[in-house]
Amino acid sequence: MKYLVAVAVVVCFAQVYSQMPEAEKEKTLACALHKGPCTKEEQEIKDDVKLLLDNHCEKCTKEQIHMIEEFLEYVIARPSDWDELVKIYKLTKEQKEHLEDIADRGHEAAHEHLH
């Protein structure tokens, strides 16, 4: 269940993350890591995590998966932030590897691990 929460959070933040300038990416990451304030949109996304959990990303589009990849690639490239995100959501080694696989392989890996 924690894995699904983490995936849902990643989906949520990735949706608003894809087209952002670097400064906005930093602010969104701070929100995701509970290190900074969240915009109204980011807070609404956090509140809607339950809705995303209900469908387990079964209806995620290729575009959404692409945004997830971008978010994961950005965070994984920042080892201390990635480690912190893993700790916040208490991911197991396998769950962490699944998210890293999504960042590497994208859409195919996402659907393998989200079902």
Short-list 74, 41, 53, CA closest to 11: 53
User: Which band of pLDDT confidence, cut at 50, 70 and 90, is reported for residue 109?
Assistant: low
Distance CA 25, CA 32 (A): 10
Tell me the two tokens of residue 108.
């195919």
The count of domains in the chain is 1
At 73, is the secondary structure helix, strand, or coil? helix
Give the dihedral of Cα atoms 39, 72, 65, 48; nearest 10 deg: -30
pTM of the model: 0.67
For 48-66, the pLDDT digits (tens) are 443 333 445 566 667 766 7
Task: For residue 58, give its domain range.
Answer: 2-114
What pLDDT digit, counting tens, does each position of 54-105 carry?
445 566 667 766 766 777 788 899 999 999 988 887 777 877 887 788 777 7
Phi and psi torsions of 80, nearest 5°:
-70, -40
